[in-house]
Structure 1
Amino acid sequence: MASAPPYDPRTIANELFHLANEYGLLITHLTIQKAVYFLHEKYLHNHDVPLCLGHFEAWQHGPVHPQLWESFKKYGSEPVTAPAEGFDILTGEAKELPRVSSQEDRRFLTAKGLGLIELPAHRLVGLSHARGGPWDAVTRIGGKRHYGARIPNELIVQKRNGRLMPVRDSRTSDEVMYEQPPTRD
């Protein structure tokens, strides 16, 4: 079991996957990305320690953790049907990732994560695009949007989305959204 943060982001994603299954919810890759980001943001704000290893990048539909994108991209906009796997570096075989063992962190993930995964993906995207928030600050360069930059943890704490309103929330619930890596010009 994973004992202390920061955790492998796939471990956090898997906790959300298991939570969704427990409550009979379907969860998409896009929902996982945004929910993990908001959990990371809240945890960082509350504990001054990152929830996830690695970094988030500012992509078109909001913050994306590249390791999660690699793990779940095969699902496109369809529901995720299996947890992410790790790989044994000695054998190259797939292996199950550890669960979060800290009871305090499991309570946090359940309490905050369930509310996030119950929201429609388009709403999570809208919230991640909050004017003045981390994604907005990183992508707004010279009056234009530029995607692919890292979102530093310091900026996440400084410009936390939890107190901001979305720029827009005009997507309909039946509109398909699928994140693609930004082009590097």
Structure 2
Amino acid sequence: MPYSAAKIANQMLGLARDKGEEITPLKLLKLVYIAHGWSFPYLHEPLLAEPAQAWQYGPVVPSLYRAVSKFRAGPITEFVPDTDPQALSEPAIALIQSVYETYSGYSGTQLSNMTHMPNTPWSEAWNSHGKNAIIPNDRIAAHYQNLLETRGQPAA
């Protein structure tokens, strides 16, 4: 660890395919960010090798956005090109699967709304540094640790 956003996205896309579900780019972007967030309290390290940024509709990993933007609002119909040679660890796979099972019932818009509410890492980066600001991993880690401690269950 950490991994490319494409590797995490492809794991999510595989889970969706196995369940006969579709994922739009907006939904995938948020699922990957949420998995990254939960990696801190559960795996004690970042899942993503690249930073998330504060974009208008919430946190985004730019390389993943570029890879899936051609699908616009439609379902993603192919895996994302991935040059990261490492395989996902078993704990990372389990975390990604748990995040998918917990959040896949939400639409991309609902996930976007969850991830850019007030007092989230996105809102702090957006309000302090503006459009496309990097969302610091230490802030993401603190936010998801707090969610775990205060709610006892996943939330974005």
Structure number with higher helix proportion: 2
C-alpha contact (below 8 Å) 1:9/1:52 kept by paired residues: yes
> What are the superposed Cα offsets for residues 31-60 of structure 1, whole Å, 9 maximum, x if unpaired?
110000010000023233110111000001
The CA RMSD over aligned residues, in Å, is 2.3
Q: 126, 129, 134: which is aligned to 2:121?
A: 134
> CA 1:100–1:108 in structure 2 vs 1: closer, same or farther (change >3 Å)?
farther
Return the offset for 1:86: 3.3
> Where does structure 1 differ by over 6 angstroms across 4 or more consecutive aligned residues?
none
Using the size of structure 2 for normalisation, the TM-score is 0.86
- Superposition map of 1:35-54 within 5 A: 35-54=31-50
Return the offset for 1:131: 1.4
Q: Which has the larger radius of gyration?
A: 1
Return the offset for 1:118: 2.3
C-alpha contact (below 8 Å) 2:6/2:64 kept by paired residues: yes
Partner SS, residue 57 of structure 1: strand
Q: 85, 92, 98: which is aligned to 1:105?
A: 92
C-alpha contact (below 8 Å) 1:11/1:99 kept by paired residues: no
Using the size of structure 1 for normalisation, the TM-score is 0.73
Q: Which residue of 2 aligns with 1:176?
A: none
Partner SS, residue 82 of structure 2: strand
Return the offset for 1:108: 1.7
> CA 1:99–1:20 in structure 2 vs 1: closer, same or farther (change >3 Å)?
farther
Larger relative contact order (CA 8 Å, sep ≥ 6):
2
Return the offset for 1:162: 6.9
Structure 2 residue runs without a partner (length 5+):
151-156
Alpha-carbon distance in structure 2 between the residues aligned to 1:8 and 1:23 = 24
Q: 5, 8, 12: which is aligned to 2:8?
A: 12
Return the offset for 1:111: 1.7
Asked if 1:65 is matched to 2:61, the reply is yes
Q: Which residue of 2 aligns with 1:150?
A: 134
Asked if 1:30 is matched to 2:14, the reply is no
Q: 115, 124, 136: which is aligned to 2:111?
A: 124
Alpha-carbon distance in structure 1 between the residues aligned to 2:74 and 2:145 = 27
Length, aligned pairs only:
149
Return the offset for 1:146: 2.8
> CA 1:86–1:104 in structure 2 vs 1: closer, same or farther (change >3 Å)?
closer
Partner SS, residue 140 of structure 1: helix
